[in-house]
Homo-oligomer: A and B are copies of this chain.
């Protein structure tokens, strides 16, 4: 298999280099490139500066990068200078495109305004470039080819960028490389590390014409298998190996997503953030039985509820929960007995079990999950170190208390605990073994 062609991503906007914390475009463009079979080598955030943009583009062109994706700096204000930076790198001038100016004039009139300097700026394009229509906003995109490099400059408004990716960019990527049919399989896993996954899969995939990638988040790893084939009907090696791969990953595997061909890479499930995948899988398992979920959180302090409710439509399977941060709430809201808190403490298998039972009985859900542990930085001891987390799950058919010991700082431990909690629910519902070590003591018993 040819090695993956390179892509560079340039995200433009001084608000980003100055540190505004929310950038959705960099990850979107990276994902676009990766799902089209490119490997991103550089993802750069640049200030709104003509020279800086020009230098960054020129540096990618010097390296003969086949795909260069830009976003931002196409707006109507004077600090939007991506058009000029791109033109400088291409060694051309910017010129007014009359059809764009006409469109912007119609758009302005429809809104009761007139063409202004901003519109005139948005009608400027580097000589020799193509206009990429923007159905959702004022800023059209720019497409240019230089040698074997394809350059796309897209607007910075995420909604407009996403629409333009689907309508303009993906189809062009596909037309450009009609021979490079791609087949991809994404394997989403929880509770197993990247190194252990690689150890299990490397032997299976050695010598195969399949490119393997690992993408780790706290508690989760996504494995991507990618093939480039000459023919839509060519047999897929990844598919042929899939059964063995699934067996090697075992119960850690919670979702398999197939992406057949570049045009299909945006299948519905991939439109959701990756963090929504596990809640979605758990939700589907619950909805299949018409069951609903409740949460009882101590150390994760609302993070588990938040992860679930980030998923649009989660109200179909999630009733809510109790964040029992103080022990008084564990007793008053979840019925954890003073005896359990006194004898075993709040971070114990028995407390986790009592919290899950309490949520199950009081919150009107068939399934309940609880978390209690020590996220740190303070509060750890030799017996109960930072990172120790108990998770209990109760369903109408089964119950289980699991002990986990997570590494990392407070933030990572809480994230890992949330993934583990969802994963233990998935496992109990599917009749799979627990991910953590199952507590055989009083926690497991009623």
Contact = CB atoms under 8 A, between A and B. Distances in A.
Q: Which of A49, A310, A320 has the most CB of B within 10 A?
A: A320
A328 interface: yes
Contact of A325 (B302, B309, B326): B309
Contact of A34 (B19, B34, B410): B19
A42 interface: yes
A217 B20 contact: yes
A21 interface: yes
B215 A18 contact: yes
Interface stretch (A55-63, A135-143, A428-436): A55-63
A47 interface: yes
Interface in A47-100: 47, 49, 51-52, 55-56, 59, 62-63
A392 interface: no
Contacts of A109: none
Given A302-B323, A320-B329, A332-B362, A19 B15 contact: no
A361 to B, nearest CB: 11
A301 interface: yes
A422 interface: no
A412 to B, nearest CB: 8
Given A41-B52, A305-B301, A364-B329, A295 B323 contact: yes
Interface stretch (A177-185, A260-268, A311-319): A311-319
A412 B20 CA distance: 13
B309 A306 contact: no
Nearest to A41: B47
Interface in A187-225: 213-218
A376 to B, nearest CB: 8
B43 A44 contact: yes
A394 interface: no
Contact of A333 (B15, B333, B411): B333
Nearest to A410: B312
Contacts of A332: 362-364
A27 interface: yes
A320 B318 contact: no
Given A215-B18, A308-B301, A411-B310, A319 B325 contact: yes
A217 B22 contact: yes
Contact of A40 (B17, B62, B300): B17
A102 B364 CA distance: 64
A303 interface: yes
A333 B329 contact: no
A17 B6 CA distance: 11
Contacts of A376: 312
A30 interface: yes
Q: Which of A30, A314, A363 has the most CB of B within 10 A?
A: A363
Contacts of A377: 312
A45 B47 contact: no
A21 B315 contact: no
A408 to B, nearest CB: 10
Nearest to A328: B364
Q: Which of A39, A275, A315, A410 has the most CB of B within 10 A?
A: A315
A320 B321 contact: no
Contacts of A20: 215-217
A27 B17 contact: no
Interface string A392-420: 00000000000000000111101000000
A46 B42 contact: yes
Contacts of A310: 301, 410-411, 414
Of all A-B residue pairs in the complex, the 3 with the closest CB atoms, nearest first, are A302-B305, A301-B309, A44-B44
Given A17-B39, A300-B306, A309-B325, 18 more contacts: A18-B214, A19-B30, A42-B52, A56-B59, A300-B309, A301-B305, A301-B310, A301-B314, A302-B302, A302-B303, A302-B321, A310-B410, A310-B414, A315-B326, A320-B324, A321-B322, A326-B364, A328-B364
13 contacts: A18-B215, A19-B27, A19-B30, A20-B216, A42-B44, A42-B46, A55-B63, A300-B309, A305-B305, A312-B410, A319-B328, A321-B323, A332-B362
